[in-house]
Amino acid sequence: MYAVLLALLALLLAGVAPRVMARLGSFRRAPRAALVAWQAVSLAAVLSALFAGPAAVASISDGTHGWFACTGEDGCAATIWWLENRRWVVLLIAGSVTLFVLGRLLLSGHRIGTRLRSARARHRELLDVLTAPEHAGRADGIRVLDHSTPTAYCLPGRRSRVVLTEGALAALPQAELDAVLAHERAHLRGRHDLLLEYFTVLHHSVPEPVRSPAALREVRLLVEALADRAAVRASGPVTTARALLTLAQGQAPEASLGAAGDGTTAVRMRLLAAEPMPSIVTLGMYLYAGAVLALPLALLWLAWR
């Protein structure tokens, strides 16, 4: 019974919950709490899928049951074989399912992690070559590219980079430039790249009929909204909105995080003007995250108690 509940919970959290949460635009007004809720739902979906196997094993007892009936010599032999070997049969099936889920996660993680790190390494080498000579010696870790389109992004990793174009330096007043730099440094400081990589791995691990592209887009928007909060603290909401508008035509390369140009600028500007989420609602989001994460753990405990 508990194995079935865990399997259904995994499907619910992996397929239905992300589609519902992606439509809750009010969550965006509290991006940090929303990201915690998203992480809790995704992790609970993984745990539910992994725990379904052990719960199935726990549901099979060693004892015989009176309701097992058999007719004829062959029927009795088959029933006796099942009673003697059912734990091993269920263990084999449950173990196979668990290993399949775990294998998809590991394979997806390896593929996506390798691709992202290779792309960042190649881009980092290009940056070091293409950085405008007059900015090559900057001590603040900023790389400036000779390009007219106002663009800003960061390249995460152990040797992180904040990248600006000459067009951005020319178009952004100092206050707006401070907002952009605060945004990019918030990405690097919070290791938002790891958060996005985690969700991308889970997204590609889920079977295609179940996965929700809208959920991944929503998480990316929340990550940008969270970094926008750092920009607001540095320069204020109006200045941050102007900077986003200036950078709206820029495009960040693969495996990087950009301040704008990802098609979400209008939504993020509306969030900058929106009232903050009431504290009681934010608290409810954290409680929701905790309850969702506790559910598969509780079901596994009930299965084995």
Which of 33-42, 121-130, 287-296 bottoms out in mean pLDDT, i.e. has the lowest? 121-130
Q: For residue 122, give the nearest of 161, 75, 165 by alpha carbon.
A: 161
Say what percent of the chain tops pLDDT 90. Answer: 51
**Which pLDDT score is estimated for 33?**
96
**Which pLDDT score is estimated for 198?**
93
| Neighbour tally for 146: CB within 10 Å | 13
In the predicted structure, residue 24 carries a pLDDT above the cut 90: no
Question: Which tens digit of pLDDT belongs to each residue from 230-282?
Answer: 999 999 999 999 999 999 888 888 888 887 767 788 899 999 999 889 999 99
Plot region of 28 (φ>0 → left; ψ -120 to 50 → alpha; else → beta) = alpha
Q: What is the pTM of this model?
A: 0.85
Most confident range (mean pLDDT) of 19-28, 152-161, 238-247, 248-257 is: 238-247
Mean pLDDT value across residues 64-82: 50
**Which pLDDT score is estimated for 63?**
43
Question: Which tens digit of pLDDT belongs to each residue from 35-53?
Answer: 999 999 999 999 999 998 8
Residue whose tokens read 């929303």: 34
Rounded to 5 degrees, φ, ψ at 247 are -90, 5
Give the burial string for 118-128 (b: 16+ CB within 10 Å, else e).
Answer: eebeebbeebe
Beta-carbon contacts of residue 110 (< 8 Å; ≥ 6 apart): none
Which of 78-87, 146-155, 255-264 bottoms out in mean pLDDT, i.e. has the lowest? 78-87
The rounded radius of gyration (Å) of the Cα atoms in the chain is: 25
In the predicted structure, residue 13 carries a pLDDT above the cut 80: yes
Mean pLDDT value across residues 208-230: 90
**Which pLDDT score is estimated for 151?**
92
Mean pLDDT value across residues 89-115: 86
**Which pLDDT score is estimated for 81?**
55
**Which pLDDT score is estimated for 68?**
45
Mean pLDDT value across residues 184-198: 94
In the predicted structure, residue 139 carries a pLDDT above the cut 80: no
Spell out the long-range contacts of 207-213 with Cβ–Cβ below 8 A and sequence spacing 24 or more. Answer: 210/11, 210/14, 210/15, 211/14, 211/15, 212/15, 212/18, 212/19, 212/22
In the predicted structure, residue 201 carries a pLDDT above the cut 90: yes
**Confidence tier at 136 by pLDDT (50, 70, 90):** low
**Confidence tier at 65 by pLDDT (50, 70, 90):** very low
**Confidence tier at 229 by pLDDT (50, 70, 90):** very high
**Which pLDDT score is estimated for 180?**
95
In the predicted structure, residue 186 carries a pLDDT above the cut 80: yes
**Which pLDDT score is estimated for 8?**
93
- Adjacency order of strands within the sheet including 257-258: 142-145, 161-165, 152-155, 257-258
